[in-house]
Chain A
Amino acid sequence: MSSVDSAIAPAIGAPLTFRRRGALAYQVRNELALVFRRRRNVAMLIVLAAVPLLIGTAVKLSSPHGDGGGPAFISQLTDNGLFLAFAALTVALPVFLPLAIAVVCGDAIAGEANTGTLRYLLTVPVSRTRVLLVKSIGALSYLAAAIVIVAVVGIVAGLTLFGSHGVTLLSGDTVSFANGLERALGVAVFVFVDLLGLAALAIFLSTLTEVPIGAMAGTVAFVIAFAVLDSVPQLGSIRGILLTHHWLGFGDLLRSQYSLASLAHQLVVPLAYTAIFFSAAWARITTSDITS
């Protein structure tokens, strides 16, 4: 066998016993390049970045005529630039961010299956668990980047358009700018965990099909169904288990007194969805036939 090893194919043969140290790092780096260089994904980030810019511009143009009306965050904008980030996240959370998740997470496994590249990854060989892990890291990194872009563009644009006069919270108290930034970070983390549940759901759907559009549409359908059910008051406390029910719970972070326990309590549901659907995705990908 040894004579065979060195002789075949490219002359610069690596020994067969070579075990790449930090193999996961190479895999993740490659996956991140794939996700963040894809034009469609870049375009969605640009659209997300436009959300705070549009809100900021609209409020700036209309502000002389009064600041009444609109959601609580938006009426706060003229006093305080930092609130543009919160307003943008509030606007992006129900539709734009779920759409981005549906596209990128829904494409994660189904996209590879659709192009047939999944079978070549598996025969490299990469274990099925590892494929799920690397694809999930790529998709979740995109989600994190999307949230960071909305928040950062929001903060920068807000400060530019409205300046920083100390941060006045929803409760009426004023806190330092640094404290405001901490709260912005808290909101970003809260939104990320909120959406983690949806991302897990989308990745699970992605393991079910070879048609990425199917997983994407399925994810959007779930978001709509959750929102519809959540608007039916007769369902009562059952609504608490709906993924979308707690999404805007980060408003608490913008009051002077907030309880970490209550914030954590709000994250139980999305974290439960995350655990359930990642387990389901793993169970599915490790047992399914790769027929694409």
Chain B
Amino acid sequence: MTALVATADDDASVGPEHDSALAIRTSGLTRRFGSHVAVNDVNLVVPRGAVFGFLGPNGSGKTTTIRLLLGLMAPHAGSVEILGGQMPARASDVLTRVGTLVEGPAFHPYLTGIENLRRLDDFDASTDPRTSKQRVAAALDRVGLTAAAKKNYRRYSLGMKQRLGIAAALLRPRDLLILDEPTNGLDPQGTREVRNLVRELAADGATVLVSSHLLAEIEQVATHVGIMSAGHLLRQGSLAEVLQVAQAQIRIETTELDDAIRVLDSLGLLVAERAPGYLLAAMNDIPAERINADLVTAGVPVRGLRVERPALEDFFVQLTGEGFDVVR
């Protein structure tokens, strides 16, 4: 494992205060594939106890980042610290406290659900073999798979496979759960259950990093978000903070559009959308009261004035660009 130790300088500022406050911290994390930079200078900060929504379009580098976090891949630059321990140097201590679901569940097709979980637990040198059977049963029960526990994995539906993957992450108490697309393939009830599970785990004090492209999903459970695009971490912070930064727009309903535009021009504001009966313009931190006062002073008949903050989804699209093209 020593060959995998990151080459970047160890961050000297890492002290015990970070140790207790942060579940995940990367600095300057970079990983290339040929000339393509999949993860570019990412400084991820996930506070303890957070439910961190890790967002980004397909191919934006989320999964590569997760692989780097877990030591499955070596970074070309930068370092990773999980629960206060450097990765991958301290993987054997750190990872016992981390439950993972990386890029979908993966199990032996010819073993049953129970046998697959027993295999993982048999390989875990830090769990008590005497409690293995109960812990496996409890984990299966927690994800609602008890009825299918003795079925071969290959006969599982996509949703059942996903549940088994989550059960594997819950085989023992965890301080951190890294769940990559945990609701993939689940039906609406399953999605709801996973959402509740994430809430429960967080309520118990665990930190949860959930990557997803289902933004509405994330918005419901996340306390913090990070948004990746083309290998860069564009924004991160608490949900409120991140959305605050989201460009608010003002919607002005009036019949005299040209007059209103002149006023907005004088304030240095750009019109984003012009339609019969209303205008939409970026606010650039100018208070709505001020805009309103200027409009009235200029004699523009204002029928309605509304500040619109984009939902996470709109903000996400604003940041990462619209369209189906995979950003490279």
Q: Which residues of A contact B (CB under 8 A)?
A: 1, 3-20, 23, 26-27, 29-30, 34, 38-39, 115-117, 119-129, 134, 286-287, 289-291
Assess whether A16 is in contact with B128, with CB atoms less than 8 Å apart.
no
Give the CA-CA distance A81 to B104 in the complex, in Å.
55
Give the CA-CA distance A18 to B104 in the complex, in Å.
29
Partner of B100, one of A12, A16, A120, A129: A120
Assess whether A123 is in contact with B3, with CB atoms less than 8 Å apart.
no
Min distance, Cβ A19 to any Cβ of chain B, angstroms = 6
Give the CA-CA distance A20 to B121 in the complex, in Å.
11
Min distance, Cβ A44 to any Cβ of chain B, angstroms = 15
B305 at the interface (CB under 8 A from A): no
Assess whether A10 is in contact with B106, with CB atoms less than 8 Å apart.
no
Assess whether A10 is in contact with B100, with CB atoms less than 8 Å apart.
no
Interface size for B (C-beta < 8 A) is 55
Give the CA-CA distance A128 to B73 in the complex, in Å.
12
For B172, what are the chain A residues with a Cβ–Cβ distance below 8 Å? 9-10, 13-14
B204 at the interface (CB under 8 A from A): yes
Assess whether B95 is in contact with A115, with CB atoms less than 8 Å apart.
no
For B135, what are the chain A residues with a Cβ–Cβ distance below 8 Å? 10, 12-14
Report if A287-B4 is in contact (Cβ < 8 Å); known contacts: A8-B204, A115-B106.
yes
Assess whether A117 is in contact with B108, with CB atoms less than 8 Å apart.
yes
Assess whether B119 is in contact with A34, with CB atoms less than 8 Å apart.
yes
Task: Digitize B119-142: 1 where CB-to-A-CB distance is under 8 Å, 0 elsewhere.
Answer: 110111111110100110011001
Assess whether B72 is in contact with A123, with CB atoms less than 8 Å apart.
yes
Q: Which residues of B contact A (CB under 8 A)?
A: 1, 3-4, 20, 67, 70-74, 91-92, 95-100, 102-104, 106-111, 118-120, 122-129, 131, 134-135, 138-139, 142, 168, 170-175, 201, 204-206
For A29, what are the chain B residues with a Cβ–Cβ distance below 8 Å? 122
Assess whether B107 is in contact with A115, with CB atoms less than 8 Å apart.
yes
Report if A8-B126 is in contact (Cβ < 8 Å); known contacts: A34-B119, A127-B1, A290-B67.
no
For B122, what are the chain A residues with a Cβ–Cβ distance below 8 Å? 26-27, 29-30
Give the CA-CA distance A8 to B176 in the complex, in Å.
10
A-B contact pairs, 20 of them (CB 8 A): A4-B204, A4-B205, A9-B171, A9-B201, A11-B138, A14-B131, A16-B126, A16-B173, A18-B126, A19-B125, A30-B118, A30-B122, A119-B72, A120-B107, A123-B98, A126-B124, A128-B1, A134-B123, A289-B74, A291-B67
Assess whether B131 is in contact with A12, with CB atoms less than 8 Å apart.
yes
Smallest CB-CB separation from B137: which chain A residue?
A10
Smallest CB-CB separation from B169: which chain A residue?
A9
Give the CA-CA distance A122 to B71 in the complex, in Å.
9
Assess whether B173 is in contact with A286, with CB atoms less than 8 Å apart.
no
Assess whether A289 is in contact with B142, with CB atoms less than 8 Å apart.
no
For B97, what are the chain A residues with a Cβ–Cβ distance below 8 Å? 16
Give the CA-CA distance A155 to B171 in the complex, in Å.
47
For A3, what are the chain B residues with a Cβ–Cβ distance below 8 Å? 205
Give the CA-CA distance A37 to B175 in the complex, in Å.
35
Assess whether A16 is in contact with B96, with CB atoms less than 8 Å apart.
yes
Assess whether B127 is in contact with A9, with CB atoms less than 8 Å apart.
no
Assess whether A7 is in contact with B173, with CB atoms less than 8 Å apart.
yes
Report if A287-B3 is in contact (Cβ < 8 Å); known contacts: A10-B173, A13-B173, A115-B108.
yes
For B124, what are the chain A residues with a Cβ–Cβ distance below 8 Å? 20, 124, 126
For B92, what are the chain A residues with a Cβ–Cβ distance below 8 Å? 125, 127
Give the CA-CA distance A124 to B126 in the complex, in Å.
9
Assess whether B72 is in contact with A289, with CB atoms less than 8 Å apart.
yes
Give the CA-CA distance A12 to B173 in the complex, in Å.
9
In the complex, besides A27-B122, A30-B118, 17 extra interface pairs with C-beta distance below 8 angstroms are A4-B204, A8-B175, A9-B139, A9-B174, A10-B139, A14-B126, A14-B128, A30-B119, A34-B108, A119-B67, A119-B103, A120-B106, A122-B71, A125-B95, A127-B91, A286-B4, A291-B72
Assess whether A124 is in contact with B73, with CB atoms less than 8 Å apart.
no
For B107, what are the chain A residues with a Cβ–Cβ distance below 8 Å? 115, 117, 120
Assess whether A122 is in contact with B201, with CB atoms less than 8 Å apart.
no
